[in-house]
Structure 1
Amino acid sequence: MGASQMEGAREVIAEQIVVGDPSGFAIGCAFLGDNRCTEISMWANGINLLGFTKEDCHYTTRWLYLEGLVAWLNSFARNITEDPFPIEAEGEFAAEKDAYARAQLPEVDDDSTDEEMDELDAQYDLFGNWSFEHTWISERGGAILPDIFFEYKNGMIELSWDNRNAGDGVVFDCEFGGTRVDAETFKKVVLDFVEAYEQHWGIKVDDDSTWLRKG
């Protein structure tokens, strides 16, 4: 969605809500028109993690059919469990550990041998699947969405991000770092938000056919 389209979407707001307290943890959304376009914000300790600048204009994530993203949040909140980053790596938060682990991967090129390629795959497999499962990026569809890691640790949800190379002229407000929010607060806010999203659009986000429907 280009800048002009995003500006236009702002003009027709059917309903706007904020679930939670932005100074701690909150999710806000504006339901735009009747075609399932939703603008979403996620605040942690007063910062909107989804804010970004493109073409000199500031936005927050918005797109049609965010059911996959909402379903991912719903699943994570309902299945919170201790699952630490799987290898020893420098960094306080998962995003920092992931960046460190990637920097340690062996360099390969067109002249690399099969053995060198196998070594790369083996090292990546040690943490790559974990990183993929602890971010929502697979559910972004066509939305401009920051890469955020979600990890439960000691009664807190650690939210961390590495968006230093977003590309396409996008600069995220949160480029590299992390923060923590209370896990119980996180769970309540997410589940209340999911319920509000489903009620407004008249859908169930865990229905695999939902994204195909418009009513």
Structure 2
Amino acid sequence: MFNDFRRRRAARRVKAGDGHALQRYRWWQPLSRALLHLPLRDDDGTEHRWSVDVRLWGDDNGDVIGQLYRDDVNVNRSTLPATFDVPGGVIEVAASGFGMRRCHFVGVGGVERQLVPDPASAEGRRARLEQNRPGLSRAIGIVSVLVLLVALALGIPQTVEQITRIPPVAEHLGTFVSPIHLAGWANITLAVAALIASSERALRLRYHWLLDGGLFDGDD
């Protein structure tokens, strides 16, 4: 959940939508687009479908934009992270360098509910695997975490050594010699495995600041 400061700051970025229609999710968009939905009732009891559409590769300026739709009609847009007002609460939306990290409805009482991924999206297919093959889904999730933990354990000492070799750093702090030195191909393999693991976690909207690179995301 966003803290109050982040929520107020995100709310100031929200702009009115232009009323365009929500585009259907296409088969070639799993890496570049996330689409999630949530039915909510107005005060009069009328139910509407609210949708959040995020183009993960950003616009022409590199900004990742979240678009909010009501019954497939665009009502709001904002750079991410975003907080959209909806009946009964807000929808909080945030992305990382690997995909979606948060897309949740937060009610007035603080109760959270994740939006449902569109069935055609990569997130939707991953959710379907979790529903149809829960054992396999859990195993994949565990492997993803283990890969990231191994990447941290092997990568951090080598990174610290490289940093302490910088002359100003070495002069003030001394140098650190890593007990671990992997071959170049092994480091590349480890980086690719970590990228895949974080991307898999993003499909489930799972995120941890240390495991999934939050140190470099530049949270607003």
Q: Which one has more relative contact order, counting CA pairs under 8 Å at least 6 apart?
A: 1
TM-score, normalisation: structure 1:
0.30
User: TM-score by structure 2 length?
Assistant: 0.30
Greater C-alpha radius of gyration: 2
